[in-house]
Amino acid sequence: MARWIAGLDGCRGAWAGALLDLDDPDRHRCALFPDLAALLDAPERPLVVGIDVPIGLPDRILGGGRAADLAARAKLGPARSSVFPMPPRAAIYAADYEAAKAASRADSDPPFAPSIQGYNIFRYVRAVDALLRERPELRDRVHEVHPEVAFHALNGDRPLGLPKKGRAARLGLDRRRALLSAAGLPAALLDARAKGIPEDDHLDALAALVVARDILAGRARPLPDPPAQDGHGLPVVIWAPAVQEPPALRGE
């Protein structure tokens, strides 16, 4: 019996995806998917999917972000800037950036407006939100993750301190790959990056897959604990994998 799991990370208007059969680790697949539904309805029909997109949109935001955003930022410490605080639901569905800023300020306390970087992912947030509301049977299969939260846990709940982009990216990418290998992902899967997917997106999709595995095994950790919920019954939670003792860096 196959038990497929999957991880998804946003990539150039689509999704970098990684799938693994837990009952036969030699069976895996990495590909670019146009949307979440394409992965969920794929032949593998993964039991659990970790996806790097906000799920659960409160009508009003208190304290500067969703409960999940605040918990993740507290966990990451100095690296918390990688977690964009999501504004209220009305801002996500606003017609343009100016309307989104106005809606966010109106329904948040203290008032805040989304950054342009945050606004640029709203279309992906809307797509996933709409899918999970239209097909509620999918809610038990799809779970919000954040790659940097995942790597933080895989690094012993400690900051990596190594970027995945820019001139120093090589060290950061190699460290993330080492953490995924230590988490038990097969080398063939680590090397299975699909054509057209940048290396950092591939590794982030694999980190999401590790979280999906730990959710299925019942050892993943919710941020916050217990999870919150929005007005449509969608969970407001970012899932983290179980903490592992990381491999030593070269020279340690």
Using pLDDT thresholds of 50, 70 and 90, give the confidence band for residue 221.
very high
The yes-or-no verdict on residue 108 having pLDDT over 80 is yes
Cα angle 13-6-47, degrees, rounded to a multiple of 5: 125
Domains of the chain: 4-56+134-240 (3.30.420), 76-129 (no CATH)
Angle between helices 147-154 and 67-76 (to 10 degrees): 40
Question: Helices (DSSP H) in 198-239: which residue ranges?
Answer: 199-217
Question: Helices (DSSP H) in 54-168: which residue ranges?
Answer: 67-76, 89-92, 97-106, 116-119, 122-134, 147-154
Model pLDDT for residues 62-84, shown as the tens digit of each residue:
999 999 999 999 999 876 567 88
Average pLDDT of the residues in 147-155: 96
Question: Amino acid letter at 83?
Answer: V
Model pLDDT for residues 37-71, shown as the tens digit of each residue:
999 999 999 999 999 999 999 999 999 999 999 99
The yes-or-no verdict on residue 131 having pLDDT over 50 is yes
Average pLDDT of the residues in 94-109: 98
Claim: this prediction has a pTM higher than 0.75: yes
Average pLDDT of the residues in 172-196: 96
The yes-or-no verdict on residue 186 having pLDDT over 80 is yes
The yes-or-no verdict on residue 251 having pLDDT over 60 is no
First to last CA, the chain: 42
The yes-or-no verdict on residue 200 having pLDDT over 50 is yes
